[in-house]
Every structure is written in C-alpha cells, then in structure tokens.
C-alpha cells in the first residue's frame, strides 16, 4: 500500500497540532481586546463601575519601606525582604467611618493609621495614638495587622504581627492605644506573615491564630547560619510554627495550637477562617508558600487536618493568599489561593477551590475551578479579595501581584529556577543563591480585576476600569470608605505607595449592608454570617478577622443586588449559634444589628 | 555432518527461545523504572499535579502509537516506548490546563512518524513534544523545574537504580558522560559567572534531570550508533546546555538535546548513506 498520501495527511495534521497553541493564544488575545475600553464612561456603561486612584487627593502619603536584614543576605535582599506591606480596615473610634491601618517594614519606619476625616481626606493619627513607632531596632518589623475586640469593650484592638516581637495594643475608647503584649503573654519572637482573630470555641471571646513563615529561631538581622531558606521549593516543612492563642478573658492568652491539633511547620503566608461545613464551628484554612495548603476542620474539641482528603492540600504550590467568597451564589464559600505564574518558566496557576456539589459536612470536597472560571493566571500573585465591585449581585475578585520590580531589562528567573530545583542542602542555604544584582523577578505586573459574569466566568477588566498601577502589590482590602454603598479598594505595595481606588458604581445597581455587633458572641461579631435571599438568589458572607494576604476587609458586610431587586430576607447566624432573620430588609441601607440577648 | 551439526543448532535455538520466555524483556525495564519513580515520588511527596493530567498524557501517547503504528506498519506496536513518552510528558510538563498534556504526548508520538530521515526518526519523542509546547505555549506550559522532596535517600536510590538499569541496557556510558560533562561545565560556569558552584550543580539534583539522564539522552532510537560517538554527542549536549545556561535559558537541557540530538542523527545518516554509496561504487 502506498503510504505517501497518509504521510501527507499526517504531516498536515502534525503542523495543525503545532499551530493549536498559537490559535488558542490568538483567541485569548481577541477576548482580552474585546474588554479593552480605556475611559471611565465606557467602563461605567460596560462594566457598571470604574476606579479612580485618589490617594494623593485624599492626603494619604505613605510609601512602604523594606527592611535591611543580615548582610549575609545582601545578594538576595530584595527577595528575602519582599513582604511587609499590609493593610487592614477598622473603625477604631466608632464614628461610623472606616479608617485604614498600614504597616511599614523599614527599621525605625512608622506604621500609619489613616483616620477617615469624612470629607474625602485622611489624617495619620498613628503617632499620637501610640501605634506608629513599632518597628524599632531589635524588635523586628511589621508584616501585617488584624483588628478585633478581644475584651468586648466595644473598641477594636490591634494585633500587630511582625518578623519579630508580636504586639497587642488595647484600644482605649478610640483615644489612644496601650501596649498589652506582656500581659497577653505573647511569644518573644515570631517571623509571622499571617494572623487572624476568630472565636474558635465560640465562648464569646476572640482567640487569635498566628502563622510563622521563617522559623521563630531565626533572627533575620543576626543570622547564626545562612541555612534558613526553605528546604524545598514545594515540600518545605522547615518554616515557622503556628500559634493558637486562646483568650482567657483576663487579658491573657494561652497558646494551645499543638494541644488542639495544629502542629505544622509549613511556610504559612495567609489564613482564613469560617464555618465551611455549616456545623457552627470555625474551620481554618492556611495557604503555605513552598508547599501544599492546609485545611483544619474543628469538631468542637480538636482541629483535624483534612487538606488532602478535601482536595485542597494535594498539589504543592506557592500559596500566598486565602480569601473566602460565595462566588456562585450557592450559599457556600469558595477559597481563593494565589500562586506563581510566569510565562514559560513556572505556571502554577492560582486555585479557586469550589465546594463540590453534593458534598458537605465531613465529606466536603473541593474542586479547583480557577481555570474553568478564568481566575487562574495572575502573575506572581499576592493578595486578593472578593467583593461585589459593581453591585450586580455577584462577587468579583481583586488581585494584586508583582514580586520584585527592579531592572526592567534583566530578570532573575533563570537563576531562581536553577536554585529552586536543587536538593535541600543547596536550596536551604542562602549562601548558595545566586546574586540578584538589581534584576527584576516578575516585576511591573498588571493587576487583575476579575468581574464575575454570573454565568461561571470571570473577565479581567483591570485596565478598562482604571486599576492600571504596576507596583509590587501585596495586600488589598475592600471597604466602603465614604459610606456610599460601594466597595472601594485599598492596596498596599511593597516599597511602593499606598493606593486608594475610589469606586464609582452605576447607580441603577442597588445594595444593602449589615454591621453586626455580638453580645453572647464576640462583640466584633467575627465569624457571624449573613445569608441574603433576593430575587430567587442567595449569597452568604461572613465577618472576617483577617483574610487575603496580610490584610483585613471592613467588618461591614456589603451585598450588591443588581437592578430592581426584591429582597426576601436576611438571615443572620451568630457565632453563639443564634439565628435571627430580617424579613424584607430595605435596600440602600446599612443595617446596624446587635445580637439579641 | 550437516545433520549432526544441525542438532546442536536446533538445541541452541530452543534454549534461546526458552531463555527468552523465562527472562525478562529488557524493553520493559525502562517503563517499570519510570513507573517506579512516579509511584515512589507520588506516594512520598505527591509529585503529580493530578491523576487526570498524567493519565491523559499516557493514554494519548498510547492511543497515538497504536493508531499510527497500525497505519504505517500494519501491526499493533509494542507500547513500551510510547508509555515512556507519555509518562515523561506527564511528569515533565507543568500546566494547570489539561490540553497541553494530550497535545505534548500526541506531538511526541507523531514526531516519530513525521520527522523521519532514511527510515529513522530524529528527535527523542518526549523531548520534541515538550520543547514544542515550551516554544509555542509558554503562557500555559512550563517544564518541571523543582525538587521532589527534601531528602537525599530517594535521590540516591533513584540514581543508583537508574544507573544499574542503564548499565544493563548498555547505555550507562551515555548517562555517565553527560553527568561528568555537566559537572565539569558547572565548574566552568561557576568560574565565568561567579555564582556558587552549588548553585550551578543544583539543577542536576532535581527530578527533571533524573528523567533527562536516564530516559532522554539514552533513547536508543535517537542516539547515534557507535559507543564513542554517543559519548561525543552527549558531551556536546552538555556543552550546548552550558552555552544556553550562560544565556539564562531556563529549559537549557531540553533545548540542548532538541538541537544537538537530531543534528548528530542527520550527520550519522548522511555519513552512512555516503558510505553505502561508496560501497556500491566500489562493488
């Protein structure tokens, strides 16, 4: 038989297959081009919102500084000292307007508390309140902060986590802050990059989770050895320990992590807690760098690690974010974990862990739908938050990224990939890492503002709606800064300015918000859930004591509703177990609800 | 005499056939070893991104081999080679998408049937498939470039076992030459760049190189025939890899083999055809 025609057909097919990736790329480029509007009016008409950076106009002048660590790390200093820009939202003086706390990481640099002056401007009041000068030499530097009313006096207190001595500041009625670290019995030194308040045992007092990154044995300013890097790029277990501080109610905390089953030394970068199974107990999710994520179910007595069996802890990546959101309006939380993707070098892809239909309780299983829903590739991703940016009734996703923006022409990826493949004896020693020499590593990246289309897809509209900065984004928080019924965006950038994106939303899309205050439950109502039912839809949100990467959103729960909504009810589930329902709540209002006694 | 001579001959043939039946077919050693690496790596560290991706890569390679073998050779081919290609793709390709695993496997197998010269295929199949995707779809595809696990023992076991198997397959000299060349060039790179020698040898301690050294550079179908020239070619693979590394090419070893392997094959085929032509003339 003459094979020639077959060979020709095969050759044509072969070429066609080779061309397939190019065709896929072309289609993706066309899709991206289709979203490319550049002016505010077009963005408003098309996407229902646009963002306007107003940091300077709001008198917010803050530029993050990175620390200078032990000289033996000089050659890779930008990489080691690459975190610390954190932002958290609080209404510290209970005036009804959200304020912004920002961390700084240079030695002797100052953190800032930007008080909302309600007229569009902010004023840094951290120095006069005693929470600015917290990065003094020998005490380490700030990485992030979370706010929670640990003593239920009505004012949010500040927990500051550092590469150094963690600090707790009591909020004295919004007038000043008193350092109560010693009374709280916090450890001397933790190289932490994540913390969150949550009342794990539902005793009405906020407890505290703290996650170590570098081992707590390491003083990054005075290294005993350069063998302090991760022992593997994907399987490292030589990171910092985890802490669970149980609130004893007298200002002191008892560390009980190991007693309750949280015993891990992975390199934690982010954590989030919520009742993921509908059991009434808070479950804890930890996103780890250099390894798998961990999920701890709490059964009322013990935490049990279930990452592998639920599916979220199977494939090791570089977890840098943990945020929860009901992205499909099913009344269940999905978990978003950011990772690293660099074209042609390392394509980890971010994870969107969506609860599998038909599973729940202890049999809860997750599927990674990041690719299917188009929220997978976000560069060297860091912080991300869910929030309804255009009030259309679906949660959108804001992601910041960019690792080290230095020389635009030269990058460090080759050397990074070279060492990342090394055995533990090589990779774990900083002395073996090639010098960065001013090169970038996934720098100058475009941010992602993924708009949820309500049909299972997200579309990146960042450039169209005005999120056009290319700083090295770390932390992002969503907040209605001016009580307008929209979510504004605050972004903390590593070695970059604090950005405030004022959100302008099409007025036809309606909203409703809830501010909760616990009585039997912790007063901050952290862990409380609101399930809103409207137009045959539902969405669940919870009050969070910290989420994303080194950040905390406003405690107020903001729901977009779309056009002409008919809200059926809002069901509030308190951490105490009580359930209250508001029938037919009025839209366009912020409900202030205190848990009934 | 002829009869008496034929009796021992028959006995020899029978004995050989018996030996073949009782002894293990060498073709299955490599697939078993690579499966061993995969299973041990996965059970120890969970190296697989997902079962689906590896499964798709293997299945695509097997199906492609069966179909193309049937079309071109009129028979169902032994699937050992296709299995190695598929599993290599499953391990070495890193992508959050599923389609690159299928595409890389199919391209790998097709390359054996399309890119041929004088009846021989030129590229190591999985090397071709992976490089093609790295060139054409860098936004979706990367190659495995990180370490499995943290311990030395799995590394020592894999290298030892791999060496024994490769020795048995009479390909040890290729792997050995490559490893020695890599270390020598690592010294040279370290001298040139000023980077730590540890940083330069770091990649070879990773799993990508385990597959590269034992399965890619030793592929009998895509290496030249003489032992000496096999060593020379693999030395040049290491040399080109060094040049690419000095130019900060991340997937240097894969690209070096992609460039050097077929070049050597073409030269050998050309020399062979010239020799045959001369032989024909002299005859």
Of residues A304 and B28, the one with the higher pLDDT is: A304
Quick check: B140 contacting A, CB < 8 Å?
yes
Closest to A10 (Cβ–Cβ): which among B110, B152, B248?
B110
Per-residue pLDDT, averaged over B67-73, amounts to 90
Residue B6 pLDDT > 50: no
Contact call for residues A384 and A398 (beta carbons, < 8 A): yes
Sequence-distant (≥ 6) Cβ neighbours of residue A262 within 8 angstroms: A242, A244, A284, A296, A303
- What Å distances lie between residue A254 and A145, A186, A217, A245, B240, CA to CA? 20, 9, 20, 5, 60
Residue A316 pLDDT > 90: no
List chain A residues with CB under 8 Å of B43: none
Q: Identify the top-confidence range among A5-9, A93-97, B10-14, B145-149.
A: A93-97
Per-residue pLDDT, averaged over B94-120, amounts to 92
pLDDT at B42: 75
Which two three-digit tokens encode residue B185?
Answer: 């060039």
Which two three-digit tokens encode residue B38?
Answer: 């995969």
CA dihedral (B79, B80, B85, B86) positive or negative: positive
Report the percentage of chain A scoring pLDDT > 90: 91
Nearest residue in B to A351, CA atom: B96
B136 with A22: Cβ contact below 8 A: yes
- Whole-number average pLDDT of chain B: 86
CA angle centred on B280, ends B275 and B282, rounded to 5°: 95
- Phi-psi sector, A466: left (phi>0), alpha (psi -120 to 50), beta: left
A235 with B114: Cβ contact below 8 A: no
Q: Hey, which residues 82-101 in chain B have their CB within 8 Å of chain A?
A: 94-97, 99-100
Residue A300 pLDDT > 50: yes
List chain B residues with CB under 8 Å of A235: 45, 147-150
Contact call for residues A393 and A372 (beta carbons, < 8 A): no
Of residues A31 and A307, the one with the higher pLDDT is: A307
Of residues A194 and B212, the one with the higher pLDDT is: A194
Q: Hey, which residues 27-56 in chain A have their CB within 8 Å of chain B?
A: 28
Closest Cα partner for B254 from B202, B201, B215?
B215
List chain A residues with CB under 8 Å of B153: none
List chain B residues with CB under 8 Å of A417: 145, 250
Q: pLDDT digit string (tens) for A362-393? A: 999 999 999 999 999 999 999 999 999 999 99
Closest Cα partner for A542 from A519, A526, A521, A554?
A526
Least confident stretch, A7-11, A317-321, B143-147: B143-147
Q: pLDDT digit string (tens) for A327-351? A: 999 999 999 999 999 988 988 999 9
Report the percentage of chain B scoring pLDDT > 90: 50
Q: Please spell the DSSP secondary structure of B28-89, one letter per residue.
A: GHHHHHHHHHHHHHHHHH---S-HHHHHHHHHHHHHHHHHHHHHHHSSPPP-HHHHHHHHHH
pLDDT at A144: 98
List chain B residues with CB under 8 Å of A418: 199-200, 202-203, 245
Nearest CA distance, B270 vs chain A (angstrom): 22
CA angle centred on A501, ends A495 and A507, rounded to 5°: 170
Q: Hey, which residues 187-216 in chain B have their CB within 8 Å of chain A?
A: 193-196, 198-203, 205-206, 208
State the pLDDT confidence band at B33, using cuts at 50, 70 and 90.
confident
pLDDT at B4: 39
Which two three-digit tokens encode residue A147?
Answer: 């706010």
Q: pLDDT digit string (tens) for A126-155? A: 999 999 999 999 999 999 999 999 999 999
Residue A475 pLDDT > 50: yes
pLDDT at A269: 98
For chain A, counts of helices (H) and of strands (E) = 9, 40
Q: pLDDT digit string (tens) for B184-239? A: 999 999 999 999 999 999 999 887 788 889 888 998 888 899 999 999 999 999 99
Which two three-digit tokens encode residue A179?
Answer: 């350092």
State the pLDDT confidence band at B3, using cuts at 50, 70 and 90.
very low
pLDDT at B11: 63
pLDDT at B150: 58
pLDDT at B21: 52
Per-residue pLDDT, averaged over A307-325, amounts to 94
Residue A120 pLDDT > 70: yes
Residue B2 pLDDT > 50: no
State the pLDDT confidence band at B1, using cuts at 50, 70 and 90.
very low
Closest to B150 (Cβ–Cβ): which among A6, A11, A231?
A231
What ipTM goes with this model?
0.86
Per-residue pLDDT, averaged over B118-124, amounts to 91
List the single best residue of B74, B107, B132, B206 to mutate versus A (max A Cβ within 10 A).
B206
Q: Hey, which residues 305-334 in chain A have their CB within 8 Å of chain B?
A: 308, 314-316
Per-residue pLDDT, averaged over A108-119, amounts to 98
């Amino acid at each position: 038989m003459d094979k020639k025609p077959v060979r020709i057909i095969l050759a044509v097919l072969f070429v066609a297959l080779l061309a397939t990736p190019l065709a896929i790329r072309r289609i993706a480029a066309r899709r991206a081009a289709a979203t490319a509007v550049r002016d505010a009016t077009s963005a408003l008409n098309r996407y229902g919102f646009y963002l306007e950076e107003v940091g300077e106009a709001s008198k917010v002048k803050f530029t993050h500084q990175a620390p200078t660590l032990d000289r033996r790390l000089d050659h890779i200093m930008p990489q080691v000292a690459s975190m610390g820009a954190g932002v958290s939202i609080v209404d510290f003086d209970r005036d009804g307007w959200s304020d912004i706390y920002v961390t700084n990481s240079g030695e002797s640099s100052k953190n800032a508390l930007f008080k909302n002056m309600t007229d569009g401007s902010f004023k840094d009041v951290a120095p006069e309140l005693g929470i600015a000068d917290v990065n003094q030499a020998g005490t380490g530097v700030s990485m992030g902060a979370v706010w929670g009313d640990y003593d239920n006096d009505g004012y949010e207190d500040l927990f500051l986590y550092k590469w150094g001595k963690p600090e707790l500041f009591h909020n004295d009625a919004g007038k000043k802050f008193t350092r109560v670290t010693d009374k709280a019995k916090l450890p001397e030194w933790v190289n932490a990059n994540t913390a969150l308040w949550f009342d794990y045992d539902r005793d009405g007092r906020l407890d505290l989770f703290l996650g170590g990154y570098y081992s707590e044995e390491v003083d990054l300013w005075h290294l005993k050895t350069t063998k302090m890097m991760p022992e593997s790029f994907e399987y490292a277990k030589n990171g910092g320990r985890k802490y669970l501080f149980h609130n004893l109610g007298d200002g002191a905390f008892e560390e009980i992590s190991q007693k309750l089953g949280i015993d891990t030394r992975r390199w934690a970068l982010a954590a989030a807690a919520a009742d993921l199974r509908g059991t009434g107990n808070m479950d804890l999710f930890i996103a780890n760098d250099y390894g798998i994520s961990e999920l701890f179910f709490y059964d009322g007595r013990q935490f049990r690690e279930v990452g592998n069996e639920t599916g979220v802890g199977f494939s090791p990546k570089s977890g840098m974010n943990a945020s929860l959101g009901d992205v499909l309006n099913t009344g269940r939380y999905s978990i978003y974990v950011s990772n690293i993707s660099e074209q042609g070098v390392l394509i980890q892809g971010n994870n969107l862990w969506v609860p599998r239909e038909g599973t729940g309780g202890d049999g809860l299983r997750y599927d990674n739908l990041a690719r299917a829903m188009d929220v997978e590739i976000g560069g060297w991703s860091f912080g991300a938050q869910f929030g309804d940016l255009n009030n259309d009734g679906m949660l959108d996703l804001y992601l910041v990224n960019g690792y080290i923006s230095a020389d635009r022409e030269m990058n460090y990826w080759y050397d990074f990939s070279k060492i990342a493949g090394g055995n533990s004896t090589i990779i774990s020693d900083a002395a073996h890492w090639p010098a960065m020499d001013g090169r970038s590593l996934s720098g100058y990246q475009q941010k992602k503002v993924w708009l949820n289309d309500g049909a299972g897809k997200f579309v990146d509209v960042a450039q169209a709606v005005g999120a056009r900065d290319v700083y090295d984004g770390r932390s992002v928080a969503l907040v209605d800064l001016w009580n307008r019924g929209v979510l504004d965006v605050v972004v903390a950038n590593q070695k970059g300015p604090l950005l405030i994106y004022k959100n302008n939303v099409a007025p036809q899309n309606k909203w409703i918000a809830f501010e909760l205050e616990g009585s039997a439950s912790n007063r901050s109502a952290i862990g409380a859930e609101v399930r809103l039912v409207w137009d045959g839809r539902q969405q669940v949100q919870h009050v969070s004591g910290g989420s994303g990467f080194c950040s905390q959103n406003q405690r107020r729960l903001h729901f977009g509703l779309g056009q002409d909504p008919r809200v059926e009810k809002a069901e509030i589930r308190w951490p105490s177990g009580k359930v209250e329902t508001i029938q037919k709540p009025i839209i366009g209002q912020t409900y202030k609800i205190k848990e009934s006694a | 005499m002829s009869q008496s001579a034929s009796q021992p001959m028959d006995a020899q043939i029978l004995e050989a056939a018996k030996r073949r039946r009782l002894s293990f077919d060498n073709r299955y050693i490599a697939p078993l070893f690579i499966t061993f690496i995969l299973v041990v790596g996965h059970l120890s560290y969970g190296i697989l991104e997902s079962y689906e991706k590896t499964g798709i890569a293997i299945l695509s390679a097997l199906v492609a081999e069966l179909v193309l073998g049937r079309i071109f050779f009129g028979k169902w081919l032994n699937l050992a080679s296709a299995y190695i290609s598929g599993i290599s793709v499953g391990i070495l390709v890193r992508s959050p998408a599923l389609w690159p695993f299928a595409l890389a496997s199919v391209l790998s197998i097709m390359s054996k049937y399309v890119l041929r010269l004088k009846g021989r295929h030129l590229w190591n199949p999985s090397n071709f498939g992976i490089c093609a995707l790295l060139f054409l779809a860098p936004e979706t595809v990367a190659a495995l470039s990180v370490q499995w696990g943290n311990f030395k023992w799995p590394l020592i076991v894999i290298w030892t076992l791999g060496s024994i198997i490769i020795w048995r397959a009479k390909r040890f000299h290729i792997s050995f030459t490559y490893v020695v060349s890599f270390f020598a060039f690592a010294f040279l790179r370290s001298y040139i760049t000023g980077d730590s020698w540890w940083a330069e040898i770091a990649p070879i301690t990773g799993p990508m190189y385990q597959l590269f050294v034992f399965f890619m550079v030793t592929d009998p179908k895509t290496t030249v025939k003489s032992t000496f020239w096999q060593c020379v070619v693999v030395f040049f693979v290491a040399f080109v890899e060094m040049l690419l590394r000095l130019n900060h090419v991340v997937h240097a070893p894969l690209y070096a083999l992609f460039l050097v392997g077929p070049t050597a094959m073409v030269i050998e085929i050309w020399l062979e055809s010239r020799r045959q032509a001369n032989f024909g003339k002299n005859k």
